[in-house]
């Protein structure tokens, strides 16, 4: 059986659960499916957000493909719904959503980073000798 690296046509997605602490102190869990963007594209989006050219809701929508938010009646709430937009304006909503995205991608990078089993080169400078190994302390000869 051969192992094949598959690159999906629509790009990679992953799902995480984000715990959001409401202003009341209540914690609610929100499942989110993210789109993994190329690092430069994500950095450009963050820069646009910091400049004020890209509001929080649009930044979140650029990386989120689906979420499990619901209205009061329990019906699914679209990312494009005006209530979703209002919620995503709040930093206490958008912040944890963005933080989870960054954490998940960092975790994947760490897990996939290559570490070499080959030993490193010998040091160019030999380690210093201790006072007892050299037989001197501050220029004085130690008794042997």
- pLDDT tens per residue across span 52-105: 999 999 999 999 999 999 999 999 999 999 999 999 999 999 999 999 999 998
CB 66 within 8 A of CB 28: no
Cα–Cα distance between 125 and 141 in angstroms, integer?
24
Answer yes or no: is pLDDT of 137 > 80: no
Question: Residue 10 — very low, low, confident or very high, per pLDDT cuts 50/70/90?
Answer: confident
Question: Residue 110 — very low, low, confident or very high, per pLDDT cuts 50/70/90?
Answer: confident
Residue 9 is predicted with a pLDDT of: 84
CA 90 to chain centre: 20
Residue 68 is predicted with a pLDDT of: 97
Answer yes or no: is pLDDT of 127 > 90: no
Cα–Cα distance between 98 and 32 in angstroms, integer?
11
- Mind giving me the DSSP string for 25-71? S-EEEEEEEEE---HHHHHHHHHHHHHTSS-HHHHHHHHEEEE--B-
Residue 139 is predicted with a pLDDT of: 54
pLDDT digits (tens, 9 = 90+) for 16-45: 999 999 999 999 999 999 999 999 999 999
DSSP 10: T
Cα–Cα distance between 29 and 17 in angstroms, integer?
6
Cα–Cα distance between 89 and 55 in angstroms, integer?
8
For the chain, the C-alpha Rg in angstroms (whole number) is: 26
Q: Which residue has the higher pLDDT, 31 or 142?
A: 31
């Amino acid at each position: 059986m051969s192992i094949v690296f598959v690159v999906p046509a629509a790009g990679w997605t992953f799902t995480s659960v984000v715990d959001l602490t409401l202003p009341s102190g209540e914690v609610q869990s929100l499942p989110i499916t993210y789109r993994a963007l190329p690092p430069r594209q994500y950095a450009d989006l963050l820069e646009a957000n910091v400049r004020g050219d890209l509001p929080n809701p649009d930044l979140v929508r650029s990386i989120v493909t689906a979420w499990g938010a619901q209205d009061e009646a329990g019906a699914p709430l679209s990312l494009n719904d005006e209530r979703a937009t209002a919620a995503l304006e709040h930093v206490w909503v958008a912040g944890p959503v963005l933080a989870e995205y960054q954490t998940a991608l960092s975790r994947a990078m760490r897990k996939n980073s290559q570490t070499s089993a080959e030993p490193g080169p010998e040091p160019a400078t030999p380690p210093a000798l201790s006072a007892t190994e050299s037989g001197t302390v501050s220029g004085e000869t130690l008794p042997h």
